[in-house]
A and B are shown apart, each in its own frame.
Chain A
Amino acid sequence: MTTWHADDTTLARYAGGTIDDAAAASIEAHLIACEPCRMAVSAQVVPARLDRMWAGVLDEVDAPTPGPIERGLAAVGVRPHVARLLAATPSLRLSWLAAQAVALGTAVVAAEATAGRGADVGLFLFLVVAALLPVLGVAVAYGPGSDPAYEVGVAAPMRGIRLVTIRATAVLAASAVLAGVAAVAAPSLGWIAAAWLLPSLGLTTATLALSTAVRPIMAAGAVTGAWLIVTSVTAVRAADRLAAFRGTAQVLFVVLTFVSLWVLTRRRHTFERGVMP
């Protein structure tokens, strides 16, 4: 049985949360064994503070454990509420990322198989696919038909352009990581394995810019079609099969990126209203 008791001032500081950690630990240990002090401290606890603490405990216990996408995003420093917005992005689901990885893996195998034989068909295929995957990802990241809660989102105060930008950036980053890993897995490709980056940026921003006039899926379809035609024609007609990925073309994709961003900025208000489902 305990023979000493905490004085009222100490108990008041403990109850008010103003005591230091070491003293608080000592008081807690004493309270377990001392009923008179427990009675004394309970009279000094401010109910509002107790409610706040209980709400905090409840929140920690009740809040659902985030899924793998949200945990992964949190691990790289993404704030929890942004991670939740991204977890609702169809093209950031594990199944979509796995499909991307398979497509890139196939392209890498083809590139490796033809590397060093004077034929660069495999490399060409890898670059075309790597540039295109973010376009498709961005197309299904937002909008009617791909975002099930699209209509609720349009009526919410968060700006449509902000949600689009957050999701498009995340999709681009995820695609870049996957394509980067694929390029590293095929060292024989050399620096040109990164030549899809600027075309991809140009095509993705062009898709977003077109999405201000038509549905994202239609915009992506148009951009994809144009990309396949341009790369196929240059591959057949130009002396260099990879002409669409060389210096001059890279400059054009930078220009396309800036023009598309300008259009997107000018027409960002179109994301604030819905379309007929």
Chain B
Amino acid sequence: MSVPTVQVIGVEKRFLRTTALQGVTFDAAAGITGLLGPNGAGKTTLLRMLATVLAPDTGELRLLGWDPGNAEERLAIRRRLGYMPQEPGFHRNFTTFEFVDYVAILKEMVERRARHDEVRRVLSLVGLEDVAGRKIKNLSGGMRRRVALAQALLGDPDLLVLDEPTAGLDPAQRLRFREIVSERAEARTVILSTHQTEDVAALCPRVVVMDEGRALFDGTPAELAGIASGRVWLAAERAADAHLSWRAGDGRHRHIGTAPSGADLVEPTVEDGYLLLVGRRALEAEEAA
């Protein structure tokens, strides 16, 4: 791996009696790193730390070579950071342009014309230039996610932290998002969280799987899929002793675990590897969400 721009070393975080992170360690360099895990895995807490919003209780963070615990270095990080929170809030009476302009001011872009040019640039990038004058409260949910992405792209940041960026997007919007992010990631560091394995398979050369505040896996999507190699089967009937089993679109049952009788071994996917790793808890968390 090239020079790491993000270093997370033994980070822990507790909120009252809840342990959100338990000694998480990983590095990331230029390119896209996906954090994959069920709801409650600790992804959002970790991303809020990478966005300098939260400080760890213990452990060490280095972002773009700086320590976010130091006030001056934190400021230097924030000047090169773009952050899209999981639930971005909007001043609903602002227009799209006014809201992104407001965030640009928070990002120290004071000179009016240069700031407005930058606002137009990012709105164009996410395909929202035609609704620049429309009130945010009148936009669809998908458009609001794009507004949130646009504000994160202001200033062409070196570190882009995106929390569940594809949640609520339709397939066409998701494709557009992948185009935008993959273009940005060629020379920059993008860390995004998701609980959708398709996003990881399509976008991320590197994936960190998290569960219950721990990093369970760190590698490529192919390596994640490889975990399930030799353990994914298709059979006509459901096997009672399978680790996980469900009826696929072709009517046959897909099993992860030991081979049921008469089953065919198939190539594993990223989702198979993820489910084998995180197990039934992932399904339960998805159902609860």
Dominant SS among interface residues on chain B: mixed
When chains A and B are docked, how far (Å) is the Cα of A93 from the Cα of B93? 10
Using a CB-CB cutoff of 8 Å, which residues 89-127 of chain B contact chain A? 89-95, 97-99, 101-103, 105-108, 110, 112-113, 115-117, 120
Q: What 1/0 flags go to A60-76 for Cβ under 8 Å of B?
A: 00111001000000000
Residues of B within 8 A of A273 (CB): 52-55
Q: What 1/0 flags go to B262-285 for Cβ under 8 Å of A?
A: 000000000000000000000000
Distance in Å: Cβ of B232 to nearest Cβ of chain A? 39
Residues of B within 8 A of A269 (CB): 71
When chains A and B are docked, how far (Å) is the Cα of A93 from the Cα of B71? 33
When chains A and B are docked, how far (Å) is the Cα of A63 from the Cα of B100? 12
When chains A and B are docked, how far (Å) is the Cα of A59 from the Cα of B74? 33
Residue of B54, B75, B106 near A274 (CB, 8 A) is: B54
Is there contact, CB below 8 Å, between B53 and A274? yes
Residue of A56, A158, A276 near B106 (CB, 8 A) is: A158
Using a CB-CB cutoff of 8 Å, which residues 30-76 of chain A contact chain B? 55-56, 59, 62-64, 67
Q: What 1/0 flags go to B39-65 for Cβ under 8 Å of A?
A: 000000000100111110000000000
Is there contact, CB below 8 Å, between B102 and A88? yes
Q: Is B81 an interface residue (CB 8 A)?
A: yes
Is there contact, CB below 8 Å, between A56 and B113? yes
Residues of B within 8 A of A155 (CB): 51-53, 78, 81, 83
Is there contact, CB below 8 Å, between B89 and A149? yes
Is there contact, CB below 8 Å, between A157 and B53? no
Q: Is B247 an interface residue (CB 8 A)?
A: no
Residues of A within 8 A of B110 (CB): 81
Residue of A nearest to B106 (CB): A156
Q: Is B251 an interface residue (CB 8 A)?
A: no
Residues of A within 8 A of B87 (CB): 277
Q: Is A16 an interface residue (CB 8 A)?
A: no
Residue of A nearest to B16 (CB): A276
Is there contact, CB below 8 Å, between B85 and A152? yes
Residue of A nearest to B113 (CB): A59
Is there contact, CB below 8 Å, between A154 and B112? no
Is there contact, CB below 8 Å, between A150 and B113? no
Residues of A within 8 A of B91 (CB): 87-88, 148-149
Distance in Å: Cβ of B196 to nearest Cβ of chain A? 22
Distance in Å: Cβ of A247 to nearest Cβ of chain B? 42
Is there contact, CB below 8 Å, between B83 and A152? yes
Residue of B15, B52, B85, B94 near A88 (CB, 8 A) is: B94
Residue of B nearest to A159 (CB): B75
Q: Is A153 an interface residue (CB 8 A)?
A: yes
Interface residues on B, range: 35 or more
Is there contact, CB below 8 Å, between B105 and A276? no
Using a CB-CB cutoff of 8 Å, which residues 134-177 of chain A contact chain B? 147-158, 163
Distance in Å: Cβ of B169 to nearest Cβ of chain A? 19
Residues of A within 8 A of B108 (CB): 156-158
Q: Is A8 an interface residue (CB 8 A)?
A: no
Is there contact, CB below 8 Å, between B78 and A157? yes
When chains A and B are docked, how far (Å) is the Cα of A88 from the Cα of B151? 16
Is there contact, CB below 8 Å, between A64 and B97? yes
Q: Is A272 an interface residue (CB 8 A)?
A: yes
Is there contact, CB below 8 Å, between B102 and A156? no
Residue of B nearest to A70 (CB): B98
Is there contact, CB below 8 Å, between B93 and A156? no
Q: Is B133 an interface residue (CB 8 A)?
A: yes
Q: Is B219 an interface residue (CB 8 A)?
A: no
Residues of A within 8 A of B113 (CB): 55-56, 59
Residues of B within 8 A of A56 (CB): 113
Residue of A nearest to B88 (CB): A152
Residues of B within 8 A of A13 (CB): none
Residue of B53, B98, B101, B102 near A151 (CB, 8 A) is: B53
Given A155-B81, A158-B107, residue A55 in contact with residue B52 (CB < 8 A): no
Other CB < 8 Å A-B pairs besides A80-B112, A149-B90, 6 of them? Answer: A59-B113, A59-B117, A64-B97, A81-B110, A85-B105, A149-B99
Contact surface of A with B, Cβ cutoff 8 Å: 55-56, 59, 62-64, 67, 80-81, 84-85, 87-88, 93, 147-158, 163, 269, 272-274, 276-277
Contact surface of B with A, Cβ cutoff 8 Å: 15, 48, 51-55, 71, 74-75, 78-79, 81, 83, 85, 87-95, 97-99, 101-103, 105-108, 110, 112-113, 115-117, 120, 132-133, 151
Q: What would be 14 A-B contacts, judged by CB atoms less than 8 Å apart?
A: A56-B113, A59-B117, A81-B112, A84-B98, A85-B102, A85-B106, A87-B94, A88-B102, A150-B89, A151-B83, A151-B85, A156-B103, A157-B79, A274-B53
